[in-house]
Amino acid sequence: MTETGEMTYRRVHRASPELLFDCMTTPEHLTCFWGPAGTTTPLDGIVVDLRPGGTFETTMVGDDGGTYTMKATYAEVRRPERLVWIEPGVEGGMKTTITFRDLGDGRTEVVTHQTNVPAAYLSAEARAGFATSLDRFDAYLAGLNREDT
């Protein structure tokens, strides 16, 4: 697997790390929010075998009845601070790492980190000048920086 880049998404929720970890790893929770938008993820389409090497599958059903199954394998299961899975079928292996950080005030920061997402944005982000002439990319990176700081 060649790691060519990464993507990070951060979000703070008013809940404990334990609850958030359970939400991400329990079919009864996952069915309520896994999505993505315009799709549902029925309970019977979710497989969670919560151990390193175990299966994580979600079948998402679109408004038009079409389905898409995400097939992943857990690589690391450390309740409540860290969860890692790998989707071997996506671009030579997409690794998703979710970390849960207790902020100590009833809130938890959830950081989703995907690697083997192509390198462009990271390296481009480091070279601030790059995006200036290329409007959409620039606008995109600006949004990214705002969210991440």
Partner 1 sequence: MTVAEDELSLVFSALADPTRRAILERLAEGDATVSQLTEPFAMTQQAVSKHLKVLERARLITRTRTAQSRPCALDTERLDAAAGWIARHREVWADRHDRLERHLAALRDRDGETP
Binding status of residue 5 toward partner 1 by CB under 8 A: yes
- Choices 33-41, 44-52, 61-69, 73-81 (CB under 8 A): range interacting with partner 1: 33-41
Question: What is the identity of the amino acid at 49?
Answer: D
CB of 137 to partner 1, least distance (A): 5
Look at the alpha carbons of 49, 50, 55, 56 in this order and tell me if their dihedral is positive or negative: positive
- Give the angle subtended at the CA of 36 by the CAs of 138 and 5, to the nearest 5°: 45
Calpha distance 131→134 (Å, rounded): 5
**Closest separation in Å from C-beta 124 to partner 1:** 7
Complex with partner 1: residue 51 or 146, whichever CB lies closer: 146
Q: Is residue 87 involved in binding partner 1 (CB under 8 A)?
A: no
Residue 44 interacting with partner 1 (CB under 8 A): no
The size of the interface with partner 1 (CB under 8 A), counted in residues, is: 41
Which are the contacts of 40, defined by CB distance < 8 A and separation ≥ 6?
A: 31, 60, 61
Site for partner 1 in 107-136 (CB under 8 A): 110, 112, 114, 117-121, 123-124, 127, 129-130, 132-134, 136
Over the Cα atoms of the chain, what is R_g? Answer: 17
Q: What end-to-end distance do the CA atoms of the chain give, in Å?
A: 30
Binding residue (CB under 8 A) for partner 1 from 1, 3, 35, 145: 35
Beta strands in 14-93 (DSSP E): 39-40, 46-48, 55-62, 67-78, 82-87
* Chain contacts with partner 1 (rule: CB under 8 A): 4-5, 7, 9, 11, 13-16, 19-20, 23, 29, 32-37, 91, 106, 110, 112, 114, 117-121, 123-124, 127, 129-130, 132-134, 136-137, 140, 144
